[in-house]
Structures are given as C-alpha cells and as structure tokens.
Structure 1
Amino acid sequence: MRYKIYAENPQNHFLTVELAVENITSDRIKIQLPAWRPGRYELQNFAKNIQKFEIFDEQQNPVEFHKVNKDRWKVYTKNISKLTIRLRYYAYIQHPNGVFANAGSSYVDENTMYVNFVNCLPYVSGRMHEPCTVELGVTDEYKIACGMPIEGKTLLAQDYYQLVDSPVLASPYLQCQTYKAAGIQFYVWFLGNYQPNWEKILSDFTRFSEKQIDIMGDFPEKDYHFINWILPVAFYHGVEHRNSTMIVLGPDTEGDGLYTDLLGVSSHELYHAWNICKIRPVEMMPYDFTKENYFPTGFVAEGVTTYLGDVFLKQSGVFSLDAYLNEFTTTIRRHFEQDGRSPMSLVEASMDLWLDGYVASIPNRRVSIYNKGAVVALLLDGLIREATQHQKSIHDVMRLMWEKFGDSGLGYSLFDYKQLAEQVFGGSLDTYFAECITGNIPLQEQVQARLAWYGIEASFDENLRLTVGQVDNDNENLRNWLG
C-alpha cells in the first residue's frame, strides 16, 4: 500500500492523505480507519476528524462506496484493479492550556508536519501485512524524525503494524544528536525553543540505556529514536512505539524541572520497547484497531514500567538517591491520596481503561494502573529481594518475560506473569496476588514496612498522606536495591 501525505494550506491544519491500492481481485473491499491507538487504551474514534472522503479509479472517475459504520467503508470494485482513496484530516487538537497536539495526535502548520499515522491512515481489510510506503509532502529544508527507514522523503514499513507504530515529526528546525549503547544506535531529536545541553543529555541517556539493555540481556530493535517536542506551556506526555517514542514536554522555561521530566519519561518509554511493544498481553496478539482490546494486565505494562523507569535512572547513576526518592514517593502519594480508598482491583482497572481510564471518575471508584501498579511492583521487588537475599529481583521476572514471551512473539496471560514471578520468588505468591492484584486491600502497612526494610522512615496519616522521614544511607538492603 502506497500513501502520500501533504498539506495544501498548512495554516488551515488539514492534512490530505492519499492511499493507492493495487492488485484488487474482488468485487468489494473494505477500508478501515483505526478507532484507537496503542499506548492509550480508549476508543478515540479518529474518523471524527475526517472532513472529506473520496475514492477514484485509475482514470480519476469516482468509485461507488458507502459507509458501513463510523470508520469503515465498503467499496465496490467490480472490474477495478487499482484505486485511490483521498481524505482530508484535521490535524489540530486544541487543549485548554493552548497546546494543539499531544504525543498521540497529529498536527500541521507552516513549519511542522507531525503525524501519528494511526490517526489518519486507513487500511484495506485483510491486507495489513503488506509492505507500506509513505511519501511526505514537505520541502527539502525539512528534517525528518521517524523510526522507520527513510529514502529521501519516503518512509518504508514492512507492514501496516510497523507503519502505525512509527510516528513522524518533520520540520526545518529539528535538532538531533546520536549515541551508542551496547552497540545500538540511538537518536535524540528536539523541536521547540530549547537549547539542549548535549553533553549531559548524551551522557545520561547512554547510562540508563546501557543499564536497561544490560539487565534485559539484549535490545529488541536495531536502533531507537527519542523524538521530543518542547512547548512553551506546561505539558507532560509520552507514548511508546516499536523503536521510538514521541514525547511532548513543557514549559521550555522550566530548566532543571524540565530536564528531570525528560529523564523520567525517556527512561519509562525506552523500557516499553520491551514491555508492551514486545512483551505483550495475549489479548493484543495482534492489535485489533477496530474495537476495544480488553486485557487484565495493564498493571504489568504500565505499573512495572513506571516503577522500573525511575529505578533504572538510580541504578545507572543518573539519579541521586534523593532525586529517585523524590520521584517515587510522589508516585506513592498519588496512589494513596487519589485512589487509596477505591475498591477497584488492578485487574478491574486494567479492563476499565476502555471505560473511563483517562477521564475523571466518580469518587472512590477507580485506581491507576500506573501509580498503584508501580506501588505493587515495589512490593513484589521487595518480596523477591528479601526471599533471595537480593540474589534475584523483579528484573529477573521481566527478563524471563522477555525471553519467554517478548523475544518469541508469544502473548502472555495474567497466569503466565504470576507463574514466572513465583518461579523467581521461589514459592507461592497467592497472598500477594490476592491482596495487590486481583483484590484491593489497603496497602499502607505493606508499603511502610517495605520502606522501613530499606531504611526509609515513612508514615501515613488518617487522610492517607505519606510523610517520609530519615533515610539510612548505610542500609544494606537500600544499597542492594538501588546501587
């Protein structure tokens, strides 16, 4: 399938998308636009941003079609072997703080073409495994940041799944530097009013990248792109992709705070290259872009990643102990202060992402698979470390997950995760899973006891507010945990 994307009047924020379909052998085909995107488990109904939808044959005559549902079209192709689909997509999402794009949307103006292809590129049902090309309609002065191979202004994908897992950011004003970690080529891109301290960035990124690869054993891809858009307003959003991440941060005047955010979200998103991009729930093998893909293990995909993203920054020496504890205790506080009295389990919360996981909920209903998922990952890590005298940890669980499911291309179940965790732990984890994963009991005592084991004084008041006191820097468990 061959695509073209261009903007006739970029100041109007419309992208024109053309799809050339060849080798048509049936009297009817179906054209489908995704209804959601990986990394955000809610229906987003991208078809609502289509202003105009047309189909033509080789002679540019209109082809008969009709809409089947909100984002699917049936095309009548008797005696037609080739056709062109053309649509106009509104690439401009306004936010209350003046942000017109996020890390999962698309945007175009006079100086920028930013496209998450899953938003606006339709596919032919039954032909998602065919190679795809995307020709970008930009001038020669544009630089192009994308995880896919590039020939001139054309992006090359082995199939539709790779295509929609590889966003592109193109602008004359992109900055880029590279580094290598464990033999893998990494690219760091920036767009915006931001002057990177390249020496520090490349040093810190190399350290946490090497640490993650060392722990996991190898890297899933041949290269990797950190694509960063720095805005003048407050913003924090990152989305994982196969061999790239799209990160939108701001404000550009924040200095050290912005850099801390950059480190945190970059380490988190890089770990997703293993955990969810490859180590994927069986319910998502493969992704079905037409409807909800319910899965009970969101706390593994997001909670473990939230926990380990910051752990890697400390274990690699990028974060000081104080910096790490500041970040992780913020995560703990968010769970207990926002969700500490909610009756929902993490399994239920994973399923209900598709219901209301990203909007305000009714009081005391929902828990965050990110925040509580990170809290219970801390508890599992501590249980394993205590049982094995630090000879093993949650790293061993995730490395086994990678070897058994990610590297093999097999999907995992909740039972699989529990079984591998018990294998590393060396016994039954029924109580842990009943209390932390499939049930929902208050976890203040467990968290307080685990932090105390690490030499960290902590207490909760009646409103579940966490207070962290003295830290015993000489605590042996603390040193073994964070290095």
Structure 2
Amino acid sequence: MSTAVSYRIRPVSPEAHLFEVSMTVAQPAVAGQVLRLPAWIPGSYMIREFARHIVSIRAESGKKAVALSKLDKHSWQAAPVQGALTVHYTVYAFDLSVRGAYLDGERGFYNGTSVFLQADGCEHEPCEVEILPPQDKAQAKWKVATSLPAHDIKKSGFGHYRAANYDELIDHPVELGEFERVSFKACGVPHEFIVSGKYKADLKRLAADTKRICEWQVRFFGEPAPFERYVFMLFVGGDIYGGLEHRASTALVASRDDLPQAGEDGIGDGYLKLLGLISHEYFHTWNVKRMKPAAFTPYDLNREGHTTLLWAFEGITSYYDDLALVRSGLIDERRYLGLLAKTITGVARGNGRNKQTLADSSFDAWTKYYRQDENSPNSIVSYYTKGALAALALDLHIRQHTAGAKSLDSVMLALWQKWLADGQGLAEDEWERVAEDTTGLKLGKFFDMAIRSTRELPLAELLATQGVEMQLLPADSSADSGSVVDEIAPASMRPTLGVKTASDAQGVKLTAVLDGGAAQAAGLAGGDVVIAVDGLKVTDLDKAIRRCCSGDSIKLHAFRRDELLSFRVTLQDTPADTCRLRLAEQGGRWIKG
C-alpha cells in the first residue's frame, strides 16, 4: 500500500510538553496544498480548536523553504511547489483528558485530531506514521500502545504504522510510557488493557472482569467482533473520570482508588463505576462508532455536526452499560436497581428536564451540554442520563405491548443488521422507523412524549409491569442519591437551601442555585462562597442546615467575587426527588434479558 501522506512524530521536549511532527505530502495540490487540523474530536461534541496548540509551523520542498499562509483559525495553505511538500510543526500537549494530547517526563498520549494535520484532497488516501522514541535517557524504557495497524515496529512498539485513510489515522489514540499491560481474548479476539499512572491494583482481575463485559457485548450483537484486536488505555490519577470511544480502542481516565485490589472479592462502588465506564465505551464500538447519525457520515471536523439523535447513541449506550454488568454476571439485579435508582434521582433533581427535550438536548450539545455553567441544572437535561431512562421506558413499553416477544434488544439488533447491510448513517427520523418496523408497534406517541416533550417519563407505571415498585421521596441526607430497599417507607422531612455545593478555601462554594429553592428566592447565586450561617463560620453547610427546621429564617454571609454580602433565607422542605426502588419476588425479569 503506497502512502499519499506520511507523518513522523516524536516526544521532543517532555519538560516543555512538546511533540515534534512532520508530514510529507507526496503529490501536493497544484494550486498550493491546504492543510488543516480538526476543530473537534468525534464522541466529544464541542468545538475545541486544537490548532491553538500548534506552537510553530514551517514548510519546505526540495530543502527550500515554502511560504505558508493562514486561511482561518485551523487552516494553512502552502505556496505551489514542484515535488513533495514537507511541513514541520510542534504541538503543545498538556491536556490530561481523553480528548487531546499530553506529554511530560512520565507519560505521553495523543489523539490524532490533536497532532496530525489533514492534507485536503488526500483524506481518502492511505497514510503512514512513524512513531519515534524520546531522545532523553530518562524515557529510554518507554513503550507504545495503540490499535493503529502496525507495519514495521520494534518490540517496544516504536516504528511504522499505516492507516487506510485520514479518518482511520485519527481514530487510534496512542499511549507512550512505562505502562503495565495485561492481555486476554474475548470471543477469540485479542484484547489488551494498558494501565499507566501510579497505582497498586489486581490487573488480572481487571482483565478477567473486562473480558466478561466484552464477551457479553460481542455475543449480544453477534460474532465475529467488528475488529481484529482491541486496546483499552487507562490512565489513573486523583479525582478524574472519563472515556472516549474509538473504532478498536478506548481512552479512559479514572481514580486510582477505583482499581480492584489484590485479595478483594467484592465490587466496591468505585470499581463498579470504573466497570460501568469500561462497559459504556466498549458498547460504543457498535453504537456510534459504526451505527451513527447521518450527520456524522462522514464526520465534518471543521464545524458542528448537529443531530437530534444523541439520546439514542449516548443515552441508549448509558442504558446498556449497566445492563451489561448484570447480564454478564458481574452484579446481581438488586445492585443494578441501585444504579438505576441513582440515575432516576439524578434526572429528577434537575429542573432542566422541564425546559429542554431530549431532542433539543441532543441538538444543542455543542453549545449547552459541553459548555455547562452554574445555571445548567436549571436549564438543560442530559441526553446521557435522561436518554438512559428513555431507553428503559422504551424497552419496557415494547415488552409490555408485545407480551415480551420484542424488546429494545430486538431494535438494537435490527439496527446493527441494517448497518452491516448498507453501512449508512441514520436519518433523523430513521431510528424511530426501524423501531416501529422491528416491533410492529406504532411508537409515534411514545417518542413524542419521551423525546420531543418535557413530560415526565411513566417509569413507575412501566417498572410496575416488571415487578419493581418505584417512589420519589425526600432525601434522607445530602449523601442520599437514591437506593433499592426492601420496603419503601416515608422519609422524614428535613430543610433545604436548594443548592449544589463544593468545598472552598474560604467556606462552601455554591456551584448551582436551583430553581424555586430557598437560596434562589433569597438572592444567592452560583459562584457565591458561603462563609457563615447565623454568625458562625461554616465549613459544612449541610450540617449547619440540619440544625434547623423547614420554615426557619437564617442569615447567611457570603462572598460574591470580593464583596461580602448578607442574605436572609427561609428554609424549605426537601423536595420529593429521591428514588426508592423495591424488587418484588419474581420481579425485574427484563434485567437479565
């Protein structure tokens, strides 16, 4: 396979967080080659303007300098040349998230969208990249991990890789460093789990549990898996969390405390959260990396790609990520219902669900969901969490009206078979059409209610058909985020300010002031830092409020920027927004399929 574009990348200055990249275009455009860096990365729907991290750039041809003209914030055009064009540039990399690029003396990581310029007109042509090792002896033991197809590499992984086109090139992130590696096969397909960062953990158990998730998902959609090998890349640190899916790999970040420890048999809440993240990103292998909206077929990485269907690709994935844990045998039905109760509670506590539909949430992801501020709980709803609840409601609705003959599983498998047949993205109304054709049901009214309105989902009624009782009650404490119980008992009333908080060096910071709450009525705002309640210094606002009763009037002192303000607040009753689920005998049949 000849390559129209070739790249070389080296971690040239870890202390300054700089990658050095060069690209050669074998046959540049006659009128002058246009080069551009993506403005966003698939799976993270926000314009990120990665080109701002290019520190320097120059071009040459036949060892002679070639002029580069800036066309816009992420594009350049080279002057016309005879022969190959080579562009040299350095990229600043200090983004610890899964979306960008990172480099220091301990570790390197990059997504292709952050480091590889696209040559216009060559995006469908084969390309090659040579990954070079750092030159400093301190990084002499570094290795490479990536799902990018290897062409000629050393045992360490450094060397030449090839991609069929630019889209494939940028869809295989690369991890560099002295990481640990554990391997397993799922349904006969090689998988690797790469873990970097400082930690102590039982990686064999992590691999064994991940294998169970992978095998259930592969068998759910049907063997063979749509890749020849798969790589999980996990960086662990302090209080971090996130993941980003790719066609044959995923990049993950998580707290080191969430890793399983040697000698532990159970699954703690932290490890359960990590397994849920792994399950979520792996499910995306089918649901968004292959099956996807027509708006993403192909991706236009220069501008936003609006779609009303993110609820179906992120929300449904968020529904199946936890189901995969119970269906693969890692947790039982009761533990699953505890997770579901927390999701229901999280959605119920945001007034944005009464103002934004799931269709609008999907469409406005670029400007609202990915650019949240202190008012977001009052103005938006998550297509992840409410999308997961809409998926649950649809699943139970289908099961109820087909006497269990069909389910959301049936729809997902039909969508996958459609993709295998035509490889096309879904038009905005096509997902619903496939659901109707598969189930034989008229689902327009359901979708109008669940996706295109702000009406409450009929979860209590639908769960009751499966032997699960649901009620929304006042929270028992600020730490109460919903639960599964043996008996649903009325909660005792407690006062509330109607705020979300975070610790602050001066006191307690209000990260959000909720609509209709006591704090909003008194004039408090997101960003205010409460330092005293009734003249006493406060470091635990919830504890201070617990000493009071609903209807009490209290005086708060708070800083807004550098101004000290006082507020008279009348406390309110805690709203009934905390989910309690009770599993009846023989209930929850849908959970295991």
Q: TM-score, normalised by structure 1?
A: 0.92
Query: 1:91 Cα deviation (Å)?
Result: 0.2
Does the Cα contact within 8 Å between 2:199 and 2:256 map onto a contact in 1? no
CA gap of 1:416–1:35, structure 2 versus 1, over 3 A, is same
Q: Which residue among 17, 26, 30 is the counterpart of 2:21?
A: 17
- Residue correspondence of structure 1 range 131-170 to structure 2 within 5 A: 131-138=126-133, 141-150=141-150, 151-152=152-153, 153=158, 154-170=160-176
The answer to whether the 8 A contact 1:280-1:406 is kept is no
* 1:209-288 equivalent positions in 2, closer than 5 A: 209-218=214-223, 219-231=225-237, 233-252=238-257, 256-288=268-300
Retained in 1: the 8 A contact 2:258–2:271? no
Q: How does 1:368-407 map to 2 (within 5 A)?
A: 368-405=382-419
Q: Which residue of 2 aligns with 1:428?
A: 442
Which residue does 1:65 correspond to in 2? 68
Shift in Å, 1:461: 4.3
User: Are the counterparts in 2 of residues 117 and 167 from structure 1 also a CA contact under 8 Å?
Assistant: yes
Aligned twin of 2:115: 120
After superposition, the Cα gap between the structure-2 partners of 1:291 and 1:88, relative to the gap in structure 1 and judged at 3 Å, is same
- For the 8 Å contact 1:249–1:258, the answer to whether it is kept is no
Would you say 1:201 and 2:196 are equivalent positions?
no
Per the alignment, do residues 366 and 469 of structure 1 end up closer, same or farther by CA in structure 2, a change over 3 Å counting?
Answer: closer
Question: Is 1:334 aligned to residue 338 of structure 2?
Answer: no
Aligned to 1:83: 85
Cα distance per residue 1:55-77 (max 9 Å; x no partner): 11221x22112111000111112
User: Which one-letter code corresponds to 1:8 in the other structure?
Assistant: V
1:482 partner letter? K
Q: Which stretches in structure 1 are left out of the alignment for 5+ residues?
A: 94-100
Query: Relative to 1, partners in 2 of residues 1:254 and 1:203: Cα closer, same or farther, differing over 3 Å?
Result: closer
User: How many pairs does the alignment contain?
Assistant: 468
Alignment equivalent of 2:330, drawn from 318, 343, 346: 318
- Supply the distance in 2 between the matched residues of 1:23 and 1:434 (Cα, whole angstroms): 52
Residues 383 and 425 in structure 1, CA contact (< 8 A), matched pair in contact too: no
Aligned to 1:481: 591
Deviating more after overlay: 177-186 vs 457-466: 457-466
Structure-1 residue corresponding to 2:8: 4
- Asked if structure 1 preserves the Cα contact closer than 8 Å seen for 2:344 and 2:579, the reply is no
The verdict on how the C-alpha distance between 1:157 and 1:441 changes in structure 2, with shifts beyond 3 A counting, is same
Secondary structure of residue in 2 paired with 1:215: helix
Whether 1:92 and 2:86 are equivalent positions in the alignment is no
Cα distance in 2 for partners of 1:92, 1:199 equals: 30
Q: Secondary structure at the match of 1:227?
A: strand
Q: Distance in 2 between matches of 1:267 and 1:87?
A: 37
Distance change (3 Å), C-alpha of 1:244 and 1:341: closer
- Deviation per CA, 1:420-439, whole angstroms, max 9, x where unpaired? 11123322011111101122
Structure 2 CA distance for aligned equivalents of residues 115 and 229 of structure 1: 12
Q: 2:208 corresponds to which letter in structure 1?
A: S
Q: Secondary structure at the match of 2:412?
A: helix
Distance in 2 (alpha carbons) for counterparts of 1:360 and 1:76:
42
Q: 3-state SS of the aligned residue for 1:382?
A: helix
Does 2:97 correspond to 1:102? yes
Q: Would the aligned equivalents of 2:334 and 2:583 in 1 still touch at CA under 8 Å?
A: no
Q: Label 1:268 to 1:391 Cα distance change in 2 as closer, same or farther (>3 A).
A: same
Cα contact 2:11–2:19 (8 A) shared by 1: yes
Task: Look up the equivalent residue of 1:182 and give its one-letter code.
Answer: C
| Residues 136-145 or 303-312, more deviating | 136-145
Change (3 A) 1:480 1:334: closer
Hey, which of these two has a bigger chunk of helix by percent? Answer: 1
> Could you say what secondary structure the match of 2:214 adopts?
helix
Residues 403-452 of structure 1: CA deviation (Å, up to 9, x unaligned) = 11255311112321111111233220111111011222122xx1111222
Residue in 2 that maps onto 1:187: 192
Corresponding position of 2:568? none
Higher relative contact order structure (alpha carbons within 8 Å, sequence separation ≥ 6): 1
Q: Does structure 1 residue 468 correspond to structure 2 residue 580?
A: yes
**Structure 2 residue matching 1:155: 3-state secondary structure:** strand
* TM-score for the superposition, normalised by structure 2: 0.76
* Percent identity (aligned): 29
1:338-353 matches, within 5 Å, as 338-339=350-351, 341-353=353-365
Identify which range, 454-463 or 347-356, moves more after superposition. Answer: 454-463
Match of 1:97 in 2: none
If you compute each CA radius of gyration, which structure gives the higher value, 1 or 2? 2
User: Which runs of at least 4 in structure 1 moved beyond 4 Å after TM superposition?
Assistant: none
State the Cα distance separating 1:258 from its structure 2 match: 3.5
Q: Which residue number in structure 1 is paired with residue 522 of structure 2?
A: none
Measure the CA separation in 1 of the matches of 2:350 and 2:132. 46
Match of residue 40, structure 2, among 7, 15, 36 = 36
The separation in 2 between residues aligned to 1:253 and 1:283, in whole angstroms, is 36
Map 1:437-452; keep pairs closer than 5 Å: 437-443=451-457, 446-452=458-464
